Amino acid sequence: MKRHSCCYKQKLRKGLWSPEEDEKLLNYITKHGHGCWSSVPKLAGLERCGKSCRLRWINYLRPDLKRGAFSSEEQNLIVELHAVLGNRWSQIAARLPGRTDNEIKNLWNSCIKKKLMKKGIDPITHKPLSEKEESNSVSLRNSLSSMIPTQFNIDDGSVSNAGFDTQVCVKPSIILLPPPNNTSSTVSGQDHVNVSEPNWESNSGTTSHLNNPGMEEMKWSEEYLNESLFSTQVYVKSETDFNSNIAFPWSQSQACDVFPKDLQRMAFSFGGQTL
DNA sequence: AAATTGAGCAACCGCATTCCT
DNA sequence: GAGGAATGCGGTTGCTCAATT
CB contact at 8 A, A75 and A123: no
CB contact at 8 A, A73 and A95: no
Q: Are strands A191-196 and A231-236 parallel, antiparallel or unpaired?
A: antiparallel
pLDDT at A75 over 80: yes
pLDDT at A7 over 80: no
Interval A147-165: pLDDT, tens: 333 333 333 333 333 322 3
- Sorting pLDDT into bands at 50, 70 and 90, what band is A174? low
- Sorting pLDDT into bands at 50, 70 and 90, what band is A79? very high
Interval A101-145: pLDDT, tens: 999 999 999 889 888 888 888 888 888 876 655 555 554 444 434
Is pTM beyond 0.95? Reply is no
CA pair distance A248, A2, nearest whole angstrom:
36
CA pair distance A14, A49, nearest whole angstrom:
9
Closest listed residue to residue A263, CA positions, set A91, A146, A144? A146
Q: Percent of chain A having pLDDT more than 70?
A: 43
Per the model's pLDDT, the better-predicted residue between A160 and A3 turns out to be: A3
Chain C nucleotides covered by protein, CB below 7 Å: 5-15
Q: Which amino acid is at A62?
A: R
Task: Considering only CA atoms, name the residue closest to the C1' of nucleotide B19.
Answer: A36
Q: Which helix (H) or strand (E) holds A81?
A: helix A72-85
The distance (Å) linking the CA of A90 with the C1' of C7 is 14
What residues does each domain of chain A span? 19-61, 72-128
Closest listed residue to residue A168, CA positions, set A211, A134, A214? A134
CB contact at 8 A, A218 and A225: no
CB proximity A17–strand B (7 Å threshold): yes
Please enumerate in sequence order all residues whose Cβ is within 8 A of that of A167, keeping only pairs 6 or more positions apart, or say none. A217, A271
CA pair distance A66, A68, nearest whole angstrom:
7
What sign for the dihedral angle of Cα A273, A255, A245, A143?
positive
Per the model's pLDDT, the better-predicted residue between A119 and A273 turns out to be: A119
Please enumerate in sequence order all residues whose Cβ is within 8 A of that of A204, keeping only pairs 6 or more positions apart, or say none. none
Q: Which CATH architecture has domain A19-61?
A: Orthogonal Bundle (1.10)
* DSSP summary character for residue A249: T
Average pLDDT estimate for A18-25: 93
What sign for the dihedral angle of Cα A157, A161, A163, A167?
negative
**DSSP code per residue over A2-70:** PPPHHHHHHT---SSPPHHHHHHHHHHHHHH---SGGGHHHHHT-SS-HHHHHHHIIIII-TTPPPSPP
CB proximity A21–strand B (7 Å threshold): no
Fold of A72-128: Arc Repressor Mutant, subunit A (1.10.10)
The distance (Å) linking the CA of A105 with the C1' of B9 is 11
The distance (Å) linking the CA of A105 with the C1' of B8 is 12
CB proximity A55–strand B (7 Å threshold): yes
Fold: same for A19-61 and A72-128: yes
CB contact at 8 A, A97 and A71: no
Four-point Cα dihedral A219, A220, A226, A228, nearest 10: 160
Burial status of residue A194 (CB atoms within 10 A of its CB: 0-12, 13-18, 19 or more): middle
The distance (Å) linking the CA of A1 with the C1' of B14 is 13
pLDDT at A86 over 70: yes
Closest listed residue to residue A85, CA positions, set A243, A221, A274, A263? A263
The distance (Å) linking the CA of A52 with the C1' of B2 is 37
